[in-house]
């Protein structure tokens, strides 16, 4: 009896100990993760903002004078305040005086001036050709003089991270120091870059403490996801349909668009300087261009060609604050047919292709060979346009050949920028028929030019956006498809990303062109769910 | 000794003229390639570029100068020992090659040794069992392996051993998230296994098939028949009469495979995200980074030449007949 009691007591206490131990162990298991591994397709060439690092995104390691929020509206970052002179030429920035670089040195106005002057001299990807000078007046004031009013200057500033003048040398791009939310730790070329959280970041230390960015092709990245070795992986519309346990796919809206240019000039036997013929007698008719625009079922192309990882595109900048929402059109095959019939295009000989005055509505659409997405989008669009009696022959050619043929034939192109001046280069008369691929269709319109110039020289962001929108559609004309229709926009590609369940990648702003780097621009907003 | 000096001298001239030809041909090929480097660079920026900015970028890439002028300025810099600066990475080409070559060398060396051992061993085995069941099966396997593209084989191996069985890492030369100083040699070797195995699969089939045929010829010869008559065993015959005779074709193939190894490593490195010259050269090619591409091409040509030269030197050591003919 006694022994039984003792044994029971012993047994019970052992059980209690065990359960206590189990309780003691459980907090360890639910410990909050604070590191992520991100697989992206392309490795940055440098981490030096003056040579292009972070251009179009946020530089992470460095901080910028102003930055975008997730709606792409500007907010102050390093800047405490800024003013612009009435002639639009002199910007005066006052910067915060509580910011230190991760090596402990203070960030001053002279670092800002040094950064801008260095970026201008680098002849790299940062366009500061219009900047005359940047001068630090005292520790917190920097005065920047421009040669002409430039409304996109703020956009440029939002992507140029400030580098420390005292620690800048030839090796800076491989071993940067900055004042951003993350600190650079190590870069092993073609393998990985390691960042850790900057605990002294002036906006509060980020939740994710350790970040490893690895570089692998999309196929390899999918394999890494299946093996559970990465938390986030950049993927493609083709691969994104594979379901992987423990991961979900996020389709991030991008302005990475595809559409074709249609020559607006008639073929009068003229040629450009390079000898390339100019003009096309079919597409120079606005009813042809608009009929194509209205006949295309964009949603269907996004669903079929891009596996649903795409959205209909109606302009070069859908979803951006400077986009005019009125550019959207509904697919309307009957309306397209009516446009053509009203203008006198009929299928008299019954071969399924309409003609007018003996001219058949047949055009070529060329795309850079090897680009399977452009090819598929062009083929699908050509198939749809067949229904209204217009024949489009799709052909893949080299970039050299595109340059020879783009002034006289349709070209499947892709643009998409986080900076609004792209619209200016795409549609200004001065840029028509240049070799830079922006305006091969030869679009020239005084009204549009007026809005574009006003937008480029506007003194406020609102004033600029107002004019960008009017350039697209002001109620009577514009670059939109219901306007002059020099472009038929078709789809915006989504940026397909695998994300491990339980990880929040924040509210991603609309991505520009680019293979994965835009993904990490809001790294400080990422967090693991508890 | 005299012979070696003479070989070095004649090879030196041959190599120099070859390198010159290689550089001219690759330069011409890049110049006529349909990729416009400036356009490629601008597309990768993802932002609009003003004509002034475009002019500056064109100026930086030097695309407006005539090709011949560009080539000669590159050549004169090269003669002074300067390989130039990579347009994409904005760093000296020599630095990039040095950095990447260490990784590639480890990969290629492992694959090379592996393919030699497997190929030669398998070839001997097949030759000794010619036309019997194990030989017939292995021969089929060798045919299949030598006709399958490396990158496809690499993907299959990746899916089976890294994704399915999880025995090996998914890629790279060291573990994800571990800093360079903390990586051990064992971790590096562990990461080398799959890529080097894939790469060796490419060339061992060739060596095995040639060795098999040569050994079969030797075993059919009259002196082997005589040896058999004297009562020598299978292994003794292989050791005394086979090895030296079948070594030469294997050696030739093994050293000639330097070129294939370089080509194959481009594929293998891309599949296994392995940081080496192979992935650098594909990046350079896709971006029309002329200095980097020319630098790597010259370097790999040199590498292959040296491989062939070593083979020639070794011939003399293994087969004294060749040495005598040379003298």
Express each pLDDT in A214-230 by its tens digit.
988 888 889 899 988 89
> Token pair 């669009």 is at which residue?
A381
Spatial CA neighbour of B257 closest among B118, B97, B101, B95: B118
Whether A358 has a pLDDT exceeding 50, the answer reads: yes
Q: What sign results for the dihedral spanned by CA atoms B221, B226, B229, B234? A: negative
Q: In chain B, what residues touch A49 (CB-CB under 8 Å)?
A: none
Instruction: Check CB contact under 8 Å for B43 and A513.
Output: yes
Please name the residue ranges forming H helices in A283-409: 286-295, 298-305, 333-342, 372-385, 399-405
Flag whether pLDDT at A13 surpasses 50: no
Residues of chain B short of pLDDT 70, as ranges, are: 1, 34-35, 43-48, 322-327
pLDDT given for residue B1 in this prediction: 67
pLDDT score, position A27 = 38
Does the pLDDT of residue A23 top 60, yes or no?
no
Contact by Cβ (8 Å): A96, A87: no
pLDDT at residue A21 in the model? 40
CB contact under 8 A, A421 and B48: yes
For every residue of A33-85, DSSP letters joined together read P-EEEEEESS--S-S-GGGTTTTTS--SSS--SEEE-TTS-EEESSEEEEEE-
B272 touches chain A (CB under 8 A): yes
pLDDT (0 to 100) of residue B45: 65
Residues 6+ positions from A398 with CB-CB distance below 8 Å = A368, A369, B34
- pTM of the predicted structure, to 2 decimals: 0.80
Q: Are the beta carbons of A388 and A340 closer than 8 angstroms?
A: yes
C-alpha torsion A331→A333→A336→A338, nearest 10: -140
Range with lowest mean pLDDT among A14-18, A46-50, A53-57: A14-18
Which residues of chain A from 38 to 67 reach within 8 Å of chain B, CB to CB?
A: 42, 45-46, 51-52, 55-56
Rg (CA), chain A: 28
Q: Which of residues 142-181 of B touch A (CB under 8 A)?
A: 155, 158-159, 162-163, 166, 169-174, 176-177, 179-180
Q: Is B81 on the interface with A (CB under 8 A)?
A: no
Q: With 50 as the cut, is the pLDDT of residue A26 above it?
A: no
Interface probe, candidates B47, B61, B173, B198, chain A, greatest A C-beta count within 10 A:
B47
CB-CB under 8 Å, A401 with B59: no
Which among A39, A53, A121, A127 is the top mutation candidate for probing chain B, defined by the most B β-carbons within 10 Å of its own β-carbon? A127
User: What pLDDT shows up at residue A237?
Assistant: 85
Neighbours of A445 (CB within 10 A): 21
Q: Compute the mean pLDDT over every residue in chain A, rounded to the nearest whole number.
A: 88
Q: Which residue of B has its CA nearest to A225?
A: B163
Is residue A28 over pLDDT 50? Answer: no
What is the predicted pLDDT for the residue at B44?
Answer: 66
All residues of chain B having their beta carbon less than 8 Å from the beta carbon of residue A245 are none
Tell me if A129 and B56 make a contact (CB, 8 A cut-off). yes
- Residues forming a β-bridge with A95: A79
pLDDT for the residue A99? 93
pLDDT score of A382 more than 70: yes
Q: pLDDT of A386-401, one tens digit each?
A: 999 999 999 999 878 8
- Comparing A28-37, A167-176, A197-206, A515-524, the range with the smallest average pLDDT is A28-37
Closest of B210, B282, B303 to residue B22, by C-alpha: B303
Give me the pLDDT at residue A17, please. Answer: 42
Structure tokens at B124: 């001997």
pLDDT tens track for A457-472? 999 999 999 999 999 9
Q: Say whether B50 sits in a helix, a strand or coil.
A: coil
Q: Which pLDDT score, from 0 to 100, does residue A362 have?
A: 94
User: What does the pLDDT read at residue B327?
Assistant: 45
Helix segments in A415-481, DSSP class H? 421-427, 446-457, 461-472
A125 with B45: Cβ contact below 8 A: yes
């Amino acid at each position: 009896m006694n022994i039984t009691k003792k044994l029971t007591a012993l047994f019970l206490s052992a059980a209690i100990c065990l359960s206590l131990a189990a309780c003691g162990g459980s907090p360890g298991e639910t410990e909050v993760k604070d590191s992520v591994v991100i697989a992206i397709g392309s490795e940055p060439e440098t981490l030096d903002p003056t040579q292009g690092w972070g251009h179009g995104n946020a530089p992470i390691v460095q901080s910028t004078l102003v930055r975008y929020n997730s709606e792409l509206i500007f907010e102050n970052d390093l800047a405490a305040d800024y003013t612009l002179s009435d002639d639009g030429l002199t910007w005066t920035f006052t910067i915060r005086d509580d910011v230190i670089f991760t090596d402990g040195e203070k960030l001053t106005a002279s670092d800002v001036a040094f950064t801008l002057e260095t970026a201008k001299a680098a002849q790299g990807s940062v366009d500061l050709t219009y900047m005359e000078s940047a001068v630090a007046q005292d520790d917190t004031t920097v005065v920047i003089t421009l040669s002409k009013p430039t409304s996109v200057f703020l956009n440029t500033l939002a992507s140029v991270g400030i580098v420390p003048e005292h620690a800048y040398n030839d090796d800076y791009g491989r071993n940067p120091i900055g004042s951003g939310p993350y600190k650079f730790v190590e870069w092993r070329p073609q393998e990985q870059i390691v960042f850790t959280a900057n605990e002294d970041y002036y906006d509060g230390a980020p939740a994710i403490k350790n970040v490893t960015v690895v570089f692998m092709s999309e196929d390899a990245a999918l394999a890494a996801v299946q093996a559970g070795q990465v938390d986030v992986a950049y993927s493609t519309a083709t691969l994104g349909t594979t379901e992987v346990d423990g991961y979900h796919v996020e389709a991030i809206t991008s302005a990475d668009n595809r559409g074709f240019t249609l020559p607006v000039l008639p073929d009068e036997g003229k040629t450009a300087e390079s000898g390339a013929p100019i003009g096309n007698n079919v597409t120079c008719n606005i009813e042809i261009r608009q009929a194509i625009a209205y006949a295309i079922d964009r949603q269907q192309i996004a669903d079929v060609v891009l596996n649903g990882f795409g959205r209909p595109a109606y302009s070069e900048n859908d979803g951006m604050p400077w986009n005019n929402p009125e550019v959207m059109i509904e697919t309307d095959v009957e309306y397209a047919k009516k446009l053509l019939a009203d203008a006198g295009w009929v299928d008299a000989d019954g071969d399924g292709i309409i003609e007018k005055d003996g001219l058949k509505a047949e055009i070529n659409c060329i795309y850079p060979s090897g680009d399977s997405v452009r090819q598929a989008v062009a083929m699908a669009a050509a198939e749809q346009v067949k229904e209204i009696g217009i024949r489009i022959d799709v052909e893949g050619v080299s970039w050299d050949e595109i340059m020879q043929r783009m002034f006289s034939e349709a070209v499947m192109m892709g643009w998409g920028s986080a900076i609004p001046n792209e619209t200016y280069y795409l549609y200004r008369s001065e840029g028509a028929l240049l070799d830079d691929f922006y305006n091969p269709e030869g679009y020239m319109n005084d009204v549009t030019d007026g809005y574009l110039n006003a937008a480029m020289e506007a003194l406020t962001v609102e004033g600029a956006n107002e004019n960008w929108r009017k350039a697209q559609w002001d109620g009577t004309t514009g670059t939109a498809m219901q306007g002059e229709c020099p472009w038929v926009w078709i789809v915006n590609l989504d940026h397909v990303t695998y994300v491990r369940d339980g990880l929040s990648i924040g509210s991603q702003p609309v991505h520009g062109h680019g293979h994965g780097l835009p993904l990490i621009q809001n790294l400080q907003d990422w967090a693991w769910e508890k | 000794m005299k012979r070696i000096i003479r070989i070095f001298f004649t090879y030196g001239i041959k190599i120099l003229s070859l390198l010159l030809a290689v550089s001219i041909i690759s330069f011409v090929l890049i110049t006529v390639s349909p990729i416009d480097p400036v356009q490629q660079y601008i597309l990768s920026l993802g932002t609009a570029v003003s004509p002034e900015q475009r002019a500056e970028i064109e100026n930086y890439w030097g695309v407006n100068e005539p090709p011949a002028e560009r080539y000669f300025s590159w050549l004169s810099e090269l003669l002074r020992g300067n390989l130039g600066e990579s347009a994409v990475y904005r760093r000296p080409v020599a630095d990039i090659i040095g950095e990447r070559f260490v990784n590639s060398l480890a990969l290629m060396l492992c694959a090379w040794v592996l393919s030699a051992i497997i190929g030669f061993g398998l070839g001997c085995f097949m030759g000794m069992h010619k036309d019997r069941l194990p030989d017939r099966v292995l021969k089929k396997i060798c045919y299949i392996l030598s006709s399958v593209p490396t990158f496809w084989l690499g993907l299959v191996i990746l899916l089976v051993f890294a994704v399915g069985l999880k025995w090996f890492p998914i890629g790279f030369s060291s573990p994800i998230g571990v800093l360079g100083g903390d990586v051990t040699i064992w971790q590096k070797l562990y990461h080398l296994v799959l890529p080097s195995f894939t790469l060796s699969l490419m060339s061992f089939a060739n060596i095995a098939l040639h060795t098999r045929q040569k050994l079969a010829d030797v075993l059919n010869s009259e002196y082997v028949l005589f040896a058999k008559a004297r009562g020598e065993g299978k292994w003794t015959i292989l050791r005394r009469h086979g090895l030296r005779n079948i070594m030469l074709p294997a050696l030739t193939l093994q050293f000639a495979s330097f070129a294939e190894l370089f080509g194959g490593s481009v594929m293998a490195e891309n599949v296994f995200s392995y940081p080496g010259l192979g992935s650098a050269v594909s990046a350079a090619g896709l971006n029309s980074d002329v200095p980097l591409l020319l630098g790597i091409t010259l370097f790999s040509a040199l590498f292959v030449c040296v491989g062939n030269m070593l083979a020639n030197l070794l011939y003399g050591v293994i087969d004294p007949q060749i040495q005598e003919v040379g003298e």
